[in-house]
Chains A and B, each alone.
Chain A
């Protein structure tokens, strides 16, 4: 199971690297904020967050100082990815909303504070799951991905309606839909982990399953790939194959 989880994380990191670099390079040409923020969010999470956290766990038994340093970098990468992702939500979905800007600022400051406390009070071993600070840190990141998931899926639904009037391209609708699926997969990973922590604290049998977490990771990786790295964003499959199944 550990091997499967490692393979999933490696796959996600590679896809995040490819998509992140693609979007950052694109932002240099377009001079637009959304591609830069989404690209950096993928790079921070996929290339800093996940790899350094895994490195910290592996190093913990042999070199504690190095492990703690890697843990700090990894957690900063995960938190940074969440901040960049939420900033992309504000820029894309609520660019002129003062309330959204205030929410982003307050959320970002709280994220930074939780990150500092979380790094100082926890270690890269299973004991961190018993820490309330670590749970709060995870919960805070969950809110970011949940906001993005709701926004992306709601907008994909609206774009789908526009298609009937010829006012939206199905490829664009699908890209938004698969981005939403990525965010909801990540949200569910956080939610399952948090529920397990809460159940463990209450003395109940947890339902944390590495297989479920890994499966959600596979879905997130695949959806990211389809949304950002394919030409048709799966339109031919979702519209013809699923349509035929629905009719048949």
Chain B
């Protein structure tokens, strides 16, 4: 299954702003996503922005990336400029609707 545009954009930004290789970057973001309960194929820009803010700095620090906070802030800005993207309905959508949400 293809990775989401939000995931691709975040990885491109991190790769451009750090000395991490492409495969390292993608693995780092995937680890953050796994810890947050997401996968790369279906995450939305809004959801990824939260993961980038709360979990990615720790992952980048572990890989010796300097100034992880500012890197993540730039990734968040890039994600916020993506706007809404048409996505498939999430598996939990039925249960959200059942609660009237």
Our pick among A160, A167, A169, A231 for the contact of B50 (Cβ within 8 Å) is A167
Which candidate, A32-40, A60-68, A79-87, A126-134, is the interface stretch facing chain B? A32-40
Partner of B95, one of A161, A162, A172: A172
- Stretch from B8-16, B18-26, B30-38, B67-75 contacting the other chain: B30-38
> Among the listed stretches B58-66, B76-84, B85-93, which one makes contact with chain A, having 4 or more residues with CB under 8 Å of it?
B85-93
Say yes or no: is A168 at the interface (Cβ < 8 Å to chain B): yes
Among A32, A38, A155, A231, point to the contact of B92 (Cβ < 8 A). A155
- Contact call A35/B94, Cβ cutoff below 8 A: yes
Residue of A nearest to B34 (CB): A161
Interface size class of A (residues with CB under 8 A): 20 to 34
Docked-complex contact B50 and A159, CB < 8 angstroms: no
| B92/A167 in contact, CB under 8 A | no
- B76 nearest CB across to chain A (Å): 14
Contacts known (A95-B89, A165-B54, A171-B99); A159 close to B37, Cβ less than 8 A = yes
CA gap between A159 and B47 in the complex, in Å:
12
CB nearest neighbor in B for A160: B37
* B50 / chain A contacts, CB cutoff of 8 Å: 165-167
B51 within 8 A of A: yes
CB pair B91 A93 closer than 8 Å: yes
Least CB separation from A158: chain B residue: B37
Instruction: Chain B residues near A151: list those with CB within 8 A.
Output: 91
Nearest A residue to B94 via CB reads: A34
Which residue on A lies nearest to B101, using beta carbons? A169
Q: A116: CB under 8 A from chain B?
A: no
A155 proximity list for chain B (CB < 8 A): 91-92
A92: B residues at CB distance < 8 A: 89, 91, 93-94
- Asked, given contacts A162-B37, A167-B36, A169-B101, whether A175 binds B95 with beta carbons under 8 Å apart, the answer is yes
B-facing residues in A66-99 (Cβ within 8 Å): 92-93, 95-97
For A168, list chain B residues within 8 Å (CB). Answer: 37, 92
Kindly provide the distance from the CB of B91 to the nearest chain A CB, expressed in whole angstroms. Answer: 5
Provide a sorted-by-A list of 25 A–B residue pairs whose CB atoms are within 8 angstroms. Answer: A26-B97, A32-B89, A32-B93, A32-B94, A34-B89, A34-B94, A38-B94, A92-B89, A95-B89, A96-B88, A151-B91, A157-B37, A158-B39, A160-B37, A164-B36, A167-B37, A167-B50, A168-B37, A168-B92, A171-B95, A171-B99, A172-B101, A176-B95, A228-B98, A231-B99
Binding site for A on B (CB under 8 A): 1, 35-39, 47, 50-51, 54-55, 88-89, 91-99, 101
